[in-house]
Chains A and B, each alone.
Chain A
């Protein structure tokens, strides 16, 4: 049963980290827009500030 002393903290740590990750994502607007990013990444997107190069 000594293994329980290791397993329980690991279980609690895992649960805590997932909850913290969810909290962070929610507070930082990660669920705000679930539609556009999937299309944006397919576009030939240039970094902001990057100058157009002559063809």
Chain B
């Protein structure tokens, strides 16, 4: 049992139900750890690579002689010219293992038309470079799709370039500031060693020369943040930091120009390097590849096949097939949707019937049958083979587009961090001390008073606090990643300590989103399983997928006249017998029942139900002891209530039949501190909740709207994350106490004239090292978690 409490004295005891065991079987292909317990592969990429691995997979793909229409369309929307070359950028799912990296590297070798392929790990962006006359982006795109990397074209615009340039600048700033600080220190050592005369002046001027770029270039982002914060009248740690830095620098400039030797170039530049490093580390430890979803991100394909009615000058109208992007689809166009395509527009089904998944509305991944004339809303995904839909509303006017619009970042008030408060407090303290010194000890003389005041600013500068806090968060992010969570917002660590209410979506969050066999009659032996799987082999319906997953792979019978019956099931002939699998007519809200007929005689009944998420029971045991729990689901009320009853949720805390907007309204009434979701219908809720978690398998858009991504299926890992947040708070508190004690003691010594500028310059790095040590030492619990994960 692990125990942890709350800081403010009103401690509660949270009990972690079980200590995680990390002895999960490794990936069959690359030997990495699988995310899903019981899975034989660590990622979808490994599954594809293992199943399709043949000698042919290493052969080169010849460059096509002609560009396809799609290539031209992709070029017109996504290309960027670089000299004689063309660059396309494409976002892919983060690569989970070495095998996927290798398969990505091999693309460059397999496609001679591709000049270069670069992968930006941080943003999970692939850069494809072709010559300007010889580009085949669709070829690579389809290959990435085959590798299950879920590619999406990205428009190379100011935003993408800005994000890339800012990352590049940060690294450059960090590297060069490190070099400047290192050289300043190198030339400061002889000064501390007692250098005198002409050489002392030369060494000091060299330090000054190295310090100039730090003052005029490295520190610019700090000046900017401080200025913006002052303008917005909000506290930010960069305000006191900038102030102390400027005061120390101007004093040192004054000293060097007037022949004085009280210089702080080494301390100031060293600090800036430490602060830049800790912020860079923190940024590297958080997920950055997911960006706020745009409307276009919801569609796997950038272009849709449509029939446009051309009335032209002729009396007879004709339908012209064209390829159009979602913005160009007009009212009355007929969109020819293919299997798995999501619709960008509202329309009316003009085919006989088709099955659609409407998870964006209700979170339900199981398709519903729609007949000719039915209204189909944008965001629905076609599950059947092909369907024609006549457009009634263009993309921007649909409810789906309005939902996405609401994900625009709101002008939230900037949160004031503890380090900002302490930092500002320290600067005010320095000011007051200096003022008091000038008022009560004028007999010391102007030069001495100035020296002491500057010494106060230098020793009480909040630099140590401002780099220790991001460092501890970076460490927590790193540990969380190992436990199974990818943190997207480092500020969540303080919010995780205040959790009282937790709300869950049901389908895909509390359940795995997969169907499992609940019962069957009579007993199904391998023969019947083989018949069912052989018949279902032609279907990509979720039921067929679930059966394949439940029973695994086996050799199949040859099926003659195999046919999928829309909305009903599958049929075919095996060894002279006619078989049919169809949904049962008996309606049960919690189960999906199937019947197998042999020559029109019912021989078997199967019942499938949603599978609860792995380790849900033990996780709920922990949650119920410590928090108030809610279910907020888009699924049918009866189904949700039944699930809640099975898992002992309080009936009045369970809400069903909610569309995304109603979900948000319910959430606003309940005010949960933590929300778990996975689907498009959870986007608004995930954005609204103080801390939002995207369950494993959540859609990319849900991941983009969450603060934390689950990298493993086990929901009972969440207590460990909460425990970690309390440990981080302990480390931060210890650092703050250490820094404050040091700052106050040194400031008092400086007021009394006991701190010579040289000593002050030496004391600062000592304080930093102490805090660095304290952060790396962490707490015994953090070390214990670390040890457990690594073993």
Cα of A43 to Cα of B59 in the assembled complex, Å? 12
Distance to closest chain B CB from A47 (angstroms): 10
- Whether the pair A39, B199 counts as a contact (CB closer than 8 A) is no
Interface string of B99-130 (1 = CB under 8 A from A): 00110111011001001011111000001000
Is there contact, CB below 8 Å, between A18 and B179? yes
Chain A contacts with B in 13-39, Cβ cutoff 8 A: 15, 18-19, 22-23, 26-27, 29, 31-36, 39
Does B350 sit within 8 A of A, measured CB to CB?
no
Find out whether the CB atom of A22 lies under 8 angstroms from the CB atom of B168: no
- Interface flags for B76-119 (1: CB within 8 Å of A; 0: not) read 00000000000000000000000001101110110010010111
Beyond contacts A19-B176, A29-B118, A33-B118: 9 other A-B pairs, Cβ-Cβ < 8 A, are A18-B179, A23-B172, A26-B172, A27-B172, A31-B168, A33-B121, A35-B121, A36-B118, A39-B102
**In whole angstroms, how far apart are the Cα atoms of A19 and B183 in the complex?**
11
A6 within 8 A of B: no
Tell whether, in the assembled complex, residue B179 and residue A33 are in contact, meaning their CB atoms are under 8 Å apart.
Answer: no
| Residue interface mask B169-206, A partner, CB < 8 A = 1 | 00110011001000100100000000000010010001
| Alpha-carbon separation in the docked complex, A8 to B203 (Å) | 9
Give the CA-CA distance A22 to B105 in the complex, in Å: 26
Is A19 within 8 A of B118, CB to CB? no
Residues of chain A lying within 8 A (CB to CB) of residue B186: 11
With contacts A18-B179, A19-B176, A19-B179 taken as known, whether A44 is within 8 angstroms of B109 at the C-beta atoms is yes
List residues of A (38-55) whose CB comes within 8 Å of B's CBs: 39-40, 43-46, 48, 52
Cβ of A32 and Cβ of B101 under 8 Å apart? no
Contact yes or no, A35 B171, CB < 8 A: no
A22 touches B206 (CB 8 A): no
Query: Is B171 a contact partner of A48 (Cβ separation < 8 A)?
Result: no
Closest CB-CB distance, A33 to chain B, in whole Å? 4
The answer to whether A32 touches B102, judged by C-beta atoms less than 8 angstroms apart, is no
5 closest A-B pairs by beta carbon, nearest first, are: A39-B105, A33-B118, A26-B172, A43-B109, A36-B105
A31: chain B residues within 8 A (beta carbon): 168, 171
Quick one: which of A18, A34, A43, A52 contacts B105, CB cutoff 8 A? Answer: A43
CA distance A33 to B105 in the complex (A): 11
Contacts of A22 in B (CB 8 A): 172, 175-176, 179
Whole-angstrom distance between the alpha carbons of A46 and B60 in the complex?
10
A40/B108 in contact, CB under 8 A: yes
The number of chain A residues touching the other chain, given as a range, is 20 to 34
Chain B: CB-nearest residue to A40: B105
Q: Are A34 and B121 also in contact (CB < 8 A) when A26-B172, A39-B105 are?
A: yes
Query: Is there contact, CB below 8 Å, between B179 and A45?
Result: no
Q: Could you tell me the distance between the alpha carbons of A24 and B127 in the complex, rounded to whole angstroms?
A: 21
CB distance from B190 to the nearest CB of A (A): 10
Interchain nearest-CB distance for B258 vs A (Å): 24
Q: Interface majority SS on B: helix, strand, loop or mixed?
A: helix
> What is the chain A residue whose CB lies nearest that of B168?
A26
A4 neighbours in B (Cβ, 8 Å): 199
In the assembled complex, which residues on chain B have CB atoms less than 8 Å from the CB atom of A32?
118, 120, 127
When distances are taken between beta carbons in the complex, the residues of chain B under 8 Å from A1 are 199
CB of B183 within 8 A of CB of A15, answer yes
Q: Compute how far the CA of A29 lies from the CA of B172 in the bound complex, rounded to whole angstroms.
A: 11
Bound-state Cα–Cα, A55 to B202, Å: 70
Number of interface residues of B (CB under 8 A): 27
Q: Which residue of A lies closest to B98 (CB)?
A: A39
In the bound complex, residues from chain A placing their C-beta under 8 Å from that of B108 are: 36, 40, 43, 45
Tell whether A39 pairs with B176 under 8 Å between CB atoms, given A31-B171, A44-B109, A45-B109. Answer: no
In the complex, what distance in Å separates the CA atom of A52 from the CA atom of B199? 67
Cα A35 to Cα B119 in complex, Å, equals 7
B714 nearest CB across to chain A (Å): 28
Q: List 15 A-B contacts (CB under 8 A).
A: A19-B179, A22-B175, A22-B176, A26-B171, A29-B118, A33-B118, A35-B119, A36-B101, A36-B105, A36-B118, A39-B105, A40-B108, A43-B105, A43-B108, A48-B115
Contacts of B109 in A (CB 8 A): 40, 43-46
- A8–B105 CB distance below 8 A: no
Q: Is the beta-carbon distance between B120 and A23 smaller than 8 angstroms? A: no
A22's nearest neighbour on chain B, judged by CB, is B175
Q: Which residues of B contact A33 (CB under 8 A)?
A: 118-121
Closest A residue, CB atoms, query B60: A52
Q: Which of B104, B105, B117, B175 has the most CB of A within 10 A?
A: B105
> Given the complex of chains A and B, what is the CA–CA distance between A8 and B101 in angstroms?
46
Q: Which residues of B have CB within 8 Å of A34?
A: 121
Please give, as numbers and ranges, the residues of chain A lying within 8 Å of B183 by CB-CB distance.
15
Shortest beta-carbon distance, A53 to chain B, in Å? 13
A48 to B60, CA, bound (A): 12
Query: Shortest distance in angstroms between B65's beta carbon and chain A's nearest beta carbon?
Result: 16
Closest Cβ neighbor of A45 among chain B residues: B109
Please state if B175 and A36 are interface contacts (CB–CB under 8 Å). no
Q: How far is the CB of B178 from chain A (nearest CB, A)?
A: 9
> Nearest-CB distance from B452 to chain A (Å)?
34
Set of chain B residues within 8 Å of A48, measured between Cβ atoms: 112, 115
Residues of chain B within 8 A of A52, CB atoms compared: 60
Known: A39-B102, A40-B108. A15 touches B115 (CB 8 A): no
Chain A residues, Cβ within 8 Å of B179: 15, 18-19, 22
- Residues of A with C-beta under 8 A to B102: 39
User: Which residues on the B side are within 8 Å of A40 (C-beta)?
Assistant: 105, 108-109
A27 to B101, CA, bound (A): 25
Interface core residue of A1, A18, A26 (most chain B CB under 10 Å): A26
CB distance from A45 to the nearest CB of B (A): 5
Q: Give B140 Cβ to nearest chain A Cβ, in Å.
A: 14
Chain A residues with CB under 8 A of B117? 36
Q: Report the bound CA distance from A43 to B172 in whole Å.
A: 31
Residues of A within 8 A of B60 (CB): 52
A10 to chain B, nearest CB (A): 13
CB-defined contacts of B168 to chain A, threshold 8 Å: 26-27, 29, 31
Closest chain A CB from B62 CB (angstroms): 9
Q: How far is the CB of A30 from chain B (nearest CB, A)?
A: 10
Q: Which of A8, A26, A39, A46 contacts B206 (CB 8 A)?
A: A8
Minimum CB–CB distance for A34 against chain B, Å: 7
Q: A19-B176, A22-B175 are in contact. Are A12 and B206 (CB under 8 A)?
A: yes
Q: Which residues of A contact B105 (CB under 8 A)?
A: 36, 39-40, 43
CB-CB nearest in chain A for B58 = A44
Question: Bound state CA distance, A32 and B104, in angstroms?
Answer: 16
With the chains together, A48 CA to B112 CA distance in Å?
Answer: 7
- How many angstroms from the CA of A30 to the CA of B764 in the assembled complex? 35
Shortest B103–chain A CB gap in Å is 9
Q: Which residue of A lies closest to B115 (CB)?
A: A48
Which residue from B101, B106, B127, B176 sits with its C-beta under 8 Å from A35? B101
Least Cβ distance of B425 to chain A in Å? 37
How far, in Å, is B240 (CB) from chain A's closest CB?
30
Q: Collect the chain A residues with CB atoms within 8 Å of residue B175's CB.
A: 22, 26
What is the bound-complex CA distance between A39 and B60, given in angstroms? 17
A45 to B327 Cα, complex, angstroms = 41
Expressed in whole angstroms, the Cα–Cα distance for A44 and B106 within the complex equals 9
CA gap between A18 and B182 in the complex, in Å: 12
CB of B175, distance to nearest CB on chain A (Å)? 5
Q: Provide the residues of chain B in CB contact with A11, threshold 8 Å.
A: 186
Within 8 A of A (CB), among B206-239: 206
Q: A8-B202, A19-B179, A43-B109 are in contact. Are A36 and B172 (CB under 8 A)?
A: no
- Which of A1, A4, A19, A36 has most chain B Cβ within 10 Å? A36
User: Would you give the 0/1 interface string for B23-49, flagging 1 where the beta carbon is closer than 8 Å to chain A?
Assistant: 000000000000000000000000000
